[in-house]
Amino acid sequence: MKLFLVPAVFAICLIAIASSRGDEEKIKPEALPKAVAASLNARFPGAEITGAVKETENGQVVFDIELKQKGRKFESDIKEDGTILEIEKEVAAKDWPKALAAAVAAKYPKSTIKEVMEVNLVKDKKEVPDHLEVTIETSDKKTEEVLASLDGKKITEEPAEPVEPKKDANKSK
């Protein structure tokens, strides 16, 4: 009986792990729904898609798209019907809020800021800056994302675990 239980428990664990990852699927840019592609092309003409993931968020299908336009990195969350929910815009180091480095250093001593993205919520097709998403390398060489106020003075941790460095979704298969 015990010999049967071990493989059964192992199989159940594998199924649970596989189903927890089922909410996220890497897709090729040409597989994006027409409404999503049309919204993306209207907002980011001439942009190059560097990664696309189909996710389920709060019961809705959302496409998380990474792209570059004129050398600048963007990320966007777009619903299946083409509604843009959020746009993240890369912020050049020279444009980081003056208070950001000190606020990050105070909360994460000896860390290094690797990337800053301005997160804009989209309502009625208007982009409204909400906060900054800051990717840091901690003193123990782990990559983490933290949230910062737009002025860079307040730092909060993201509710998720540390993130892995992002890879091109189209090259990972």
Per-residue tokens: 102:
């000190």
* 25/61 Cα distance (integer angstroms): 11
Looking at 11-164, which runs of residues are DSSP E strands? Answer: 24-26, 48-57, 60-69, 72-79, 84-90, 112-123, 126-137, 143-148, 155-157
User: 10-residue block means of pLDDT along the chain (173 residues)?
Assistant: 42 39 83 97 97 94 97 97 97 96 95 97 95 96 96 84 46 41
Distance CA 79, CA 62 (A): 4
Architecture per CATH, 23-157: Roll (3.10)
Q: What is the pLDDT of residue 23?
A: 80
Rounded Cα–Cα distance for residues 65 and 29 (Å): 9
Q: What is the pLDDT of residue 162?
A: 45
Residue 115 DSSP symbol: E
Q: How confident is the model at residue 159, as a pLDDT?
A: 64
Phi, then psi, of 18 in degrees rounded to 5:
-65, -40
Please list the helix, strand and coil fractions of the chain in percent, rounded to the nearest 5, in that order: 25, 40, 35
Write down how long the chain is: 173
